[in-house]
Amino acid sequence: MTPDLMEAGAKARAAYEQRVATAGKGGGFGRPLSAGEVVFTQGVALYLQDVTVSFDGFKALNNLSLTINVGELRCIIGPNGAGKTTMMDCITGKTRPDSGKVFFGSNIDLLRLNEPAIAQVGVGRKFQKPTVYEQLSVFENLELNLRNDRSVRAGLFSRLSGEQLDKLGELLALIHLKDEAQRTAGLLSHGQKQWLEIGMLLAQDPKLLLLDEPVAGMTDEETERTAELFLTLEGQHSLVVVEHDMKFVDQLTEGRKKVTVLHEGSVLAEGLLSDVQNNEKVVEVYLGR
């Protein structure tokens, strides 16, 4: 999809929202979109074009362009300082690029939204350090994050619907914490806390998940299980995974998915892991060291 088309889409969308706001009703064609609803019909989940971010003149991102397809699981690798975390900061609204475009689906211009609004439209992010509520149980942590309009207090003390209970049960099974549901989150292992946090993200039904070094500090077995979990999520969600652990990346890419190598704020190489691992430039700046 060309940037022009995306821009045209964003303009059409803004005009539509304007009509809805003034007329109070949908424009009379097709199913009215609710505000902030992302459009994936073009097959693109995330689109970055020529994104540049400078910190005191230093370009942490330098004309970075990247497309992630709907349902795709993309691993991003690259040396420390390559700009991987800064890229996630730009997608989630934590950092404003100096220039460039960041689109979610074909219609949502993420550079126009703030952090909470970006989370609201369906972009979930997992930071390196788990940030679970240590005092609460595993179940309560998940419960707090179920998407609904109730306040935190109501979320904790009112009854869950059968549907919500089912969903929590499924989530607990997915993140391998069914037997730990009543356990205080602070007592979990590091790996289990990471899974809980992923479960908390999933409770909010994100369409796109950004995971920054998700297996750092995990045991080999936890790492393998995390890869299995991400492979289960692939397809239903689009995933962007930043990771240094090549065994993990290998497991995720299954010998057929492409990886992106970032270096000095731009894409250095893109292709199968086996190919980029043999790419001279990649070996020089990253793998060979």
When the beta carbons of 61 and 185 are compared against ligand ADP, the nearer one is: 61
When the beta carbons of 79 and 122 are compared against ligand ADP, the nearer one is: 79
Nearest approach, Cβ of 264 to ligand ADP (angstroms)? Answer: 9
Nearest approach, Cβ of 128 to ligand ADP (angstroms)? Answer: 9
Nearest approach, Cβ of 1 to ligand ADP (angstroms)? Answer: 26
Chain-centroid distance of CA 198 in Å reads: 10
Pick from 66, 72, 202: which is nearest to 124 by CA?
Answer: 202
Residue 82 partner contact from Mg ion, ligand ADP, none using kind-dependent CB cut-offs of 5 to 8 Å: ligand ADP
**Who contacts 11 (Cβ-Cβ below 8 Å, separation ≥6)?**
none
When the beta carbons of 85 and 194 are compared against Mg ion, the nearer one is: 85
When the beta carbons of 94 and 183 are compared against Mg ion, the nearer one is: 94
Residue 78, by phi and psi: left (phi above 0), alpha (psi -120 to 50) or beta? left
From candidates 76, 85, 215, 248, binder to Mg ion by CB under 5 A:
85
Binding site for ligand ADP (CB under 6 A): 55, 60, 78, 80-86
The three-state secondary structure class of 75 is strand
**Who contacts 198 (Cβ-Cβ below 8 Å, separation ≥6)?**
126, 175, 211, 214, 229
Kindly list the distances between the CA atom of residue 278 and the CA atoms of 119, 129, 136, in Å, as whole numbers in the listed order: 37, 32, 47
Nearest approach, Cβ of 265 to Mg ion (angstroms)? Answer: 13
**Who contacts 200 (Cβ-Cβ below 8 Å, separation ≥6)?**
132, 141, 142, 144, 145
Q: Where are the alpha helices (DSSP H) in the chain?
A: 3-23, 84-91, 115-121, 138-145, 152-157, 162-174, 190-202, 220-233, 246-253, 273-277, 280-282
Nearest approach, Cβ of 38 to Mg ion (angstroms)? Answer: 26
Give the range of 80-88, 110-118, 167-175, 260-268 binding Mg ion by CB under 5 A.
80-88
Nearest approach, Cβ of 260 to ligand ADP (angstroms)? Answer: 12
When the beta carbons of 177 and 198 are compared against Mg ion, the nearer one is: 198
Residue 271 partner contact from ligand ADP, Mg ion, none using kind-dependent CB cut-offs of 5 to 8 Å: none
Kindly list the distances between the CA atom of residue 113 and the CA atoms of 50, 91, 108, in Å, as whole numbers in the listed order: 19, 10, 9
Backbone phi, psi, residue 245, to 5°: -75, 105
Residue 81 partner contact from Mg ion, ligand ADP, none using kind-dependent CB cut-offs of 5 to 8 Å: ligand ADP
Residue 199 partner contact from ligand ADP, Mg ion, none using kind-dependent CB cut-offs of 5 to 8 Å: none
When the beta carbons of 230 and 286 are compared against ligand ADP, the nearer one is: 286
The residue ranges that bind Mg ion (CB under 5 A) are 84-85
